[in-house]
Amino acid sequence: MPSRAEITYFGAGPAALPTDVLESAASALLDYQGTGLGIAEHSHRSALAAKIIDEAKADLANYLDIPSDYEILFMQGGGSGEFSATVYNLVGAWVTRKQQEAAKQAGDDEAKIAEILQKQVASELKLDYVVTGGWSLKAYQEACRLVGEEHVNLVADARKINDGKFGKIPEESSWKLSQNAAMVYYCDNETVDGVEFPGFPQILTPNADGSGPIVVADMSSNILSRRIPVKNYHVIFFGAQKNLGSTGITVAIVKKDLLPPVTPQPSPKLLRKLGLPIGPIVLSYETIAKNNSLYNTLSIFDVYIAGQVLKKLLATYRQYKVDGQEAVANEKAKLIYEALEAYPEVYRIVPDKTARSRMNICFRIIKGPDTDASEKSFLSQSKDKGLEGLKGHRSVGGIRASNYNSISLEGAQTLASFIKYFGSL
């Protein structure tokens, strides 16, 4: 059996973790800082747990340069849970803003306010979705399920410009944005389809006074790999299991003007009158923020692992922080894509060059009469070289190299060398 040091794991998630972080975590599971109890056994209400949470939040803010007017929340439910959470919270924020406007007309007349709001919900409430892959499609479908298709606007569907398949990002000039949408959602990196936005969509850039679209982004699979303009977003969310840590926690970076006292969530009574869904309290940003992510039992062990990953990143890149990791991520992706491009008769890179993901490199093997057989041979031979986790997503097949932060430059070079070797056979 191969040792850990002999394997480079390119699985799409859960991703590999740094060995020294795992060694630290293994020790902490038995006895955390000489307390005689393992970290998973300490109360989530303890001062020890609060310190782990606070340090992880501070280190994340430092690494990504998150401004002070944003709240960092540790939640549960994964990215799929956030598909629902963003709908509940952002629709609630929209209702609160409309309620405040209605109160200027109707004063304290609750019945009149409700009447005004009912008309506005029917005619104005929209959630905008840019669909560029399997995950953004799931987010769009969840919004339709929760609030009804009449309130969900499909801004762009990448399949319409790519023969029914994902692999491109529609030109922004073709996007059909709603006026004053409750939110505009997009997935920054699509793990299944290997599509990544090259940068922040210019059409969503806020105005000089800070007004503009309320932007929500799913960054589950490329967070911590490049610098992001945090101030352009109202919500950024991501599961931990790609670049941050282990499966079990989800992070939401939320602009504080979505939270009390600026924007308290509307009452369940009002939402019922308006025919809008009332979200589970564990998905309430307001509730989680008030309780420093400890409304219910949070896995402190998973927060600890995330914190250790962040400390390692900060120690590795020091003053460069995320810019240092971005340079490495770009170099790794360049090595792998150039190896694939060197053998166009053997490999077909799935996404368009303008939308290629640095994190999930998806390709097919087109050499020979039987693609499936060729890909099975590639996977078998790569496994013999210690290259694991390269099988594509079950829904699309092919080969997928998930080039997360845990993949070293040497690991990327090993894969690039194998791609060249197989291409030359």
Q: Give the pLDDT confidence of 139-179 residue by residue, as tens digits.
A: 999 999 999 999 999 999 999 999 999 999 999 999 999 99
Amino acid at 232: N
Please name the residues in contact with 346: beta carbons below 8 A apart, sequence gap of 6 or more.
365, 366, 367, 422, 423
**Average pLDDT score, the chain:** 97
Residue 234 CA to residue 215 CA, distance in Å, equals 6
Q: Which helix (H) or strand (E) holds 156?
A: strand 152-157
CB 197 within 8 A of CB 176: no
pLDDT tens-digit map of 208-236: 998 999 999 999 999 999 999 999 999 99
Please give the pLDDT value at position 424.
95
Q: What is the mean pLDDT of residues 307-320?
A: 97
Please give the pLDDT value at position 368.
83
Helix axes 322-341, 409-424, angle to 10 degrees: 10
Amino acid at 358: R
β-bridge mates for residue 250, sequence order: 75, 239
Q: Which CATH number fits domain 51-303: 3.30.465.10, 3.40.50.970, 3.20.20.220, 3.40.640.10?
A: 3.40.640.10
CA angle 215–333–168, rounded 5-degree value: 50
Residue 15 CA to residue 242 CA, distance in Å, equals 5
Amino acid at 337: Y
Please report which confidence band the pLDDT of residue 128 belongs to, taking 50, 70 and 90 as the band edges. very high
What is the share, in percent, of the chain residues with pLDDT greater than 90? 96
Clarify whether 391 is annotated catalytic: no
Clarify whether 176 is annotated catalytic: no
Residue 65 CA to residue 139 CA, distance in Å, equals 27
Q: Structural domain boundaries of the chain?
A: 51-303, 319-424
Which one of the listed residues 98, 242, 321, 367 is annotated catalytic? 242
DSSP 75: E
What is the share, in percent, of the chain residues with pLDDT greater than 70? 100
Please name the residues in contact with 245: beta carbons below 8 A apart, sequence gap of 6 or more.
17, 302, 303, 305, 306, 308, 309
Output the CA–CA distances (angstroms, integers) from residue 327 to 124, 214, 316, 318, 331, in the order listed. Answer: 43, 29, 13, 14, 6
Q: What is the mean pLDDT of residues 289-315?
A: 97
Is the pLDDT at 90 greater than 90? The verdict is yes
Pairing type for strands 152-157 and 127-131 reads parallel
- Which strand ranges, in their side-by-side order, compose the sheet holding 70-75? 70-75, 250-255, 235-239, 215-218, 183-187, 127-131, 152-157
Greatest C-alpha distance within the chain: 78
Is the pLDDT at 403 greater than 90? The verdict is yes
pTM over 0.95: yes
Residue 307 CA to residue 304 CA, distance in Å, equals 5
Please give the pLDDT value at position 146.
98
pLDDT tens-digit map of 366-398: 988 888 999 999 999 999 999 999 999 999 999
Is the pLDDT at 206 greater than 90? The verdict is yes
Output the CA–CA distances (angstroms, integers) from residue 60 to 22, 194, 251, 383, 418, in the order listed. Answer: 19, 26, 10, 35, 35
Please give the pLDDT value at position 370.
87
- Which has the closest alpha carbon to 152: 182, 173, 187? 182
Q: What is the mean pLDDT of residues 305-323?
A: 97
Tell whether domain 319-424 is in CATH 3.90.1150.10.
yes
Which one of the listed residues 128, 135, 193, 255 is annotated catalytic? 135
Please give the pLDDT value at position 108.
85
Residue 213 CA to residue 234 CA, distance in Å, equals 9
- Which has the closest alpha carbon to 19: 33, 9, 34, 31? 9
Which one of the listed residues 188, 193, 218, 302 is annotated catalytic? 218
Q: What is the mean pLDDT of residues 237-264?
A: 97
Clarify whether 193 is annotated catalytic: no
Q: 75-79, 106-110, 216-220, 349-353: lowest mean pLDDT where?
A: 106-110
Residue 126 CA to residue 62 CA, distance in Å, equals 34
Please report which confidence band the pLDDT of residue 1 belongs to, taking 50, 70 and 90 as the band edges. confident
CB 244 within 8 A of CB 306: yes
List, as one string, the DSSP characters of 181-222: -SEEEEESEETTTTEE-SS--GGGPPPTTS-S--EEEE-TTT
